Amino acid sequence: MSGSVYKVIVLVGTSDKSWEEAAKNAVETASKSLKDLRIAEIKTLDMRLENNKVIAYRAKVSLSFKYHTD
């Protein structure tokens, strides 16, 4: 019987432009050290404020990748 196993991690990406870019930054950074990325799921979106102004967008991302034992 064959099957696959996937590991899920949670990352927080940031951007000074948008939530979409924040999520993209999280995935692109993870892809530099992880192989076989499968699914990215946005868990929460928030903003960092300073002096009543938005200074950063943050995306909490659950990211799954294929788990290899070799």
> What's the confidence (pLDDT) of residue 7?
94
Residue 1 has pLDDT above 70, yes or no: no
Q: Quick: pLDDT tens for 21-49.
A: 999 999 999 999 999 999 999 999 999 99
pTM value is 0.86
* Dihedral over alpha carbons 32, 20, 16, 13 (to 10 degrees): -40
Domain boundaries 6-66, CATH class: alpha beta
Q: Work out the mean pLDDT of the chain and round it to a whole number.
A: 94
**Angstrom distance (rounded) from CA 4 to CA 36:** 12
In the sheet that 37-50 helps form, which strands lie side by side, from edge to edge? 6-15, 53-66, 37-50
Query: Over 60: is that where the pLDDT of 70 sits?
Result: yes
